[in-house]
Amino acid sequence: MSGHGELLDIVGAKHKAVYRDYISRVTDPIYPKAKAAELAKKWDFEYWDGDRRINYGGYYYRPGYWTPVAEALIDRYELNASSRVLDVGCGKGFLLAEMRHLIPGITVLGVDISGYAIANSHPSVTDYLFRSSATELPWDDQSFDLVISINTLHNFHCFDLESALLELERVALNKFVVVESYRTESEKANLIYWQVTCEAFCTPEEWVWWFNHCNYSGDFEFIYFD
């Protein structure tokens, strides 16, 4: 079956704007790759606001930063004040906060495995964020007009990835996911060097296989490590 949606380019510009020293991520004397990954996978302070050699190095709200992404999603899925949006892997909820700013009255909800992220989320959405895994969403079928999941699904092992895709498909009319991928051996090496939480290392063709396997009908985007 081949019933997935379209390949989009919504967050790629933000990803490409970040400088990454791939070799230093692996060889750093204080936080070598293995140690950084161990700390990152706790999804706590170190992952979000700890040393840059571990992950974000401080994940703070910047007014307007998520505006282009929010506007693109609003336009693509024709969102309005009556819409319901779920962000799976919402982190600190900055994208949802931007949506609420652009469309007063819109219903936004988010789930994340990180209790730290939710506790330190944007104050305008804290009450709408919940700690939960993407593999078991606590909502009825088609409860949302749109579910988004940006840079989250590649963090699952295959058995949980399947469950998560099935859940995303189940709870929303429209879907949009962003996942890490690679097209060349160089991009594969850079991805392996840089990532600290990824478990699903898939080419675009493999990701499409996953979408078809799970009858995922939504849109998607791949980000690469050039």
Taking 90 as the threshold, does the pLDDT of residue 209 lie above it? Answer: yes
**What's the confidence (pLDDT) of residue 103?**
98
Is 96 within 8 Å of 66 (Cβ atoms)?
Answer: no
Query: Residue 38 is inside which H or E element, if any?
Result: helix 33-40
**Reported CATH class of domain 12-48+59-223:** alpha beta
**What's the confidence (pLDDT) of residue 1?**
35
Cα–Cα distance measured from residue 10 to residue 225, given in angstroms and rounded to the nearest whole number: 16
CA dihedral sign, ordered 129, 134, 140, 142: positive
Domain boundaries, the chain: 12-48+59-223
- Residue 149: strand pairing partners: 177
pTM score of the predicted model: 0.95
Ramachandran region of residue 77, left (φ > 0), alpha (ψ -120 to 50) or beta?
A: alpha
Mean pLDDT of 92-97: 98
Is 129 within 8 Å of 90 (Cβ atoms)?
Answer: yes
Tens of pLDDT, residues 108-156 = 999 999 999 999 999 999 999 999 999 999 999 999 999 999 999 999 9
